[in-house]
Chain A
Amino acid sequence: MKRSRLLSVFQYIFATLITMGTLSPFAWLFISSISFQTDLTKVPLRWIPKQITFSRYVDIFTNSNNEMAYTFRISMMNSFIVAIGTTLIALIIGGIAAHAFARYQFRFRQKLIYLFLFTYMIPSVVIVIPLYLLLDQAGMLDSKLTLILLDLTFVIPFVIWIMQSYFKLLSKEFYEAAAIDGCTRVQTLWLIVLPLARPGIVATGIFAFLLSWDEFFFSLLFTSSLDAKTVSVAIAEFSGKNAVDFGMVATGGVLACLPPLLIAFIFQKFLVQGMTAGGVKE
Chain B
Amino acid sequence: MKKMSDKTYAILSITPAILVVFGIVLFPLIQTFLYSLKNMDLTSSTRGQFVGIHNYVNVLTDPNFWGSFGRTAYFSFVSLSLEIVLGLMIALLLNEKFIGVTFLRTIIILPWAVPTIVNGAMWKWIYHPEYGALNALLTQLHITSSYQSWLSSPWLAMNMVIIADVWKMTPFVVIFLLASLQLMNKSVYEAASVDGAGVFRRLIVLTIPFLIPTLLVLIVMRTMESFKVFDLIYAITQGGPANGTMVLTYQAFIKAFTNLQYSQGATISYLIATIIGLLTFVYVKTLKAEEGI
> Is the Cβ of B11 less than 8 Å from the Cβ of A106?
yes
Which label, helix, strand, loop or mixed, suits the secondary structure of the A interface?
Answer: helix
**CB of A152, distance to nearest CB on chain B (Å):** 5
Query: What CA separation (Å) do A134 and B25 show in the bound complex?
Result: 12
How large, as a class, is the contact surface on chain A? 35 or more
> Is the Cβ of B32 less than 8 Å from the Cβ of A129?
yes
The residue in chain A whose Cβ has the minimal distance to the Cβ of B275 is A123
Count chain B residues whose beta carbon lies closer than 8 angstroms to a beta carbon of A.
102
For chain B, residues 100 to 150, give those with C-beta under 8 angstroms from any C-beta of chain A.
100-101, 103-104, 106-118, 120-126, 128, 130-131, 133, 136, 139-140, 147
Any chain B CB within 8 A of the CB of A14? yes
> Is the Cβ of A96 less than 8 Å from the Cβ of B22?
no
**CB of B271, distance to nearest CB on chain A (Å):** 10
Query: What CA separation (Å) do A281 and B216 show in the bound complex?
Result: 13
Any chain B CB within 8 A of the CB of A265? yes
Report the stretch among A37-45, A51-59, A62-70, A194-202 that lies at the interface. Answer: A37-45
> Is the Cβ of A130 less than 8 Å from the Cβ of B27?
yes
The residue in chain A whose Cβ has the minimal distance to the Cβ of B218 is A279
Instruction: Give every chain B residue within 8 A of A129 (Cβ-Cβ).
Output: 28, 31-32, 35, 256, 262, 265-266, 269
Query: What CA separation (Å) do A25 and B7 show in the bound complex?
Result: 53
For chain A, residues 79 to 119, give those with C-beta under 8 angstroms from any C-beta of chain B.
93-94, 96-97, 99-101, 103-104, 106, 112, 114-119
Query: What CA separation (Å) do A232 and B252 show in the bound complex?
Result: 21
> Is the Cβ of B104 less than 8 Å from the Cβ of A19?
yes
Against A, the Cβ 8 Å flags (1 = close, 0 = not) of B223-251 are 01000101100110010000000000100
For chain A, residues 131 to 163, give those with C-beta under 8 angstroms from any C-beta of chain B.
131-132, 134, 149-150, 152-153, 156-157, 160
6 additional A-B pairs beyond A11-B98, A156-B17, A156-B21, beta carbons within 8 Å, are A93-B20, A104-B6, A126-B272, A129-B256, A153-B20, A153-B24
Any chain B CB within 8 A of the CB of A1? no
Q: Known contacts A32-B125, A127-B25; is A104 also within 8 Å of B262 by CB?
A: no
Cross-chain contact of B130 among A43, A115, A123, A149 (Cβ < 8 A): A43
Query: What CA separation (Å) do A8 and B99 show in the bound complex?
Result: 11
> Is the Cβ of A150 less than 8 Å from the Cβ of B13?
no
Cross-chain contact of A104 among B7, B24, B98, B101 (Cβ < 8 A): B7
Any chain A CB within 8 A of the CB of B60? no
Query: What CA separation (Å) do A82 and B90 show in the bound complex?
Result: 35
Instruction: Give every chain A residue within 8 A of B179 (Cβ-Cβ).
Output: 272, 275-276, 280
**CB of B104, distance to nearest CB on chain A (Å):** 6
Against B, the Cβ 8 Å flags (1 = close, 0 = not) of A9-26 are 001101100110111011
Residues of A in contact with B (beta carbons under 8 Å apart): 7-8, 11-12, 14-15, 18-19, 21-23, 25-26, 28-29, 32, 40-45, 47, 93-94, 96-97, 99-101, 103-104, 106, 112, 114-119, 121-123, 125-132, 134, 149-150, 152-153, 156-157, 160, 185, 210, 213-214, 216-217, 220-221, 231-233, 235-236, 239-240, 246, 249-250, 253, 256-257, 260-261, 263-265, 268, 271-272, 275-276, 278-282
**CB of A157, distance to nearest CB on chain B (Å):** 6
Any chain A CB within 8 A of the CB of B16? yes
**CB of B15, distance to nearest CB on chain A (Å):** 8
Q: Which of A112, A221, A264, A278 has the most CB of B within 10 A?
A: A264
Q: Which of A41, A122, A149, A278 has the most CB of B within 10 A?
A: A122
Instruction: Give every chain A residue within 8 A of B139 (Cβ-Cβ).
Output: 44
Query: What CA separation (Å) do A216 and B233 show in the bound complex?
Result: 12
Residues of B in contact with A (beta carbons under 8 Å apart): 4, 6-7, 9-11, 13-14, 16-18, 20-22, 24-25, 27-29, 31-32, 35, 89-90, 93, 96, 98, 100-101, 103-104, 106-118, 120-126, 128, 130-131, 133, 136, 139-140, 147, 167, 171-172, 175-176, 179-180, 183, 199, 213-214, 217-218, 221, 224, 228, 230-231, 234-235, 238, 249, 252-253, 256-257, 262, 265-266, 269-270, 272-273, 276-277, 279-280, 283-284, 287, 290-291, 293
Q: Known contacts A22-B110, A26-B110, A217-B230; is A152 also within 8 Å of B96 by CB?
A: no
**Between-chain CB contacts (< 8 Å), 7 pairs:** A25-B126, A93-B20, A125-B230, A134-B28, A232-B116, A239-B235, A272-B175
Instruction: Give every chain B residue within 8 A of A117 (Cβ-Cβ).
Output: 280, 284
**CB of B255, distance to nearest CB on chain A (Å):** 10
> Is the Cβ of B14 less than 8 Å from the Cβ of A112?
yes
Q: Known contacts A18-B93, A118-B280, A121-B224; is A149 also within 8 Å of B20 by CB?
A: yes
> Is the Cβ of B93 less than 8 Å from the Cβ of A153?
no
Instruction: Give every chain B residue within 8 A of A221 (Cβ-Cβ).
Output: 257
Instruction: Give every chain B residue within 8 A of A282 (Cβ-Cβ).
Output: 183
Q: Known contacts A260-B115, A276-B176; is A118 also within 8 Å of B131 by CB?
A: no
Query: What CA separation (Å) do A121 and B134 show in the bound complex?
Result: 35
Query: What CA separation (Å) do A29 and B183 show in the bound complex?
Result: 37
> Is the Cβ of A127 less than 8 Å from the Cβ of B133?
no
Instruction: Give every chain A residue within 8 A of B10 (Cβ-Cβ).
Output: 100-101, 103-104, 106
Instruction: Give every chain A residue within 8 A of B96 (Cβ-Cβ).
Output: 11
Query: What CA separation (Å) do A7 and B199 show in the bound complex?
Result: 10
Q: Which of A18, A256, A260 has the most CB of B within 10 A?
A: A18
Q: Known contacts A18-B90, A25-B122, A28-B133; is A100 also within 8 Å of B9 by CB?
A: yes
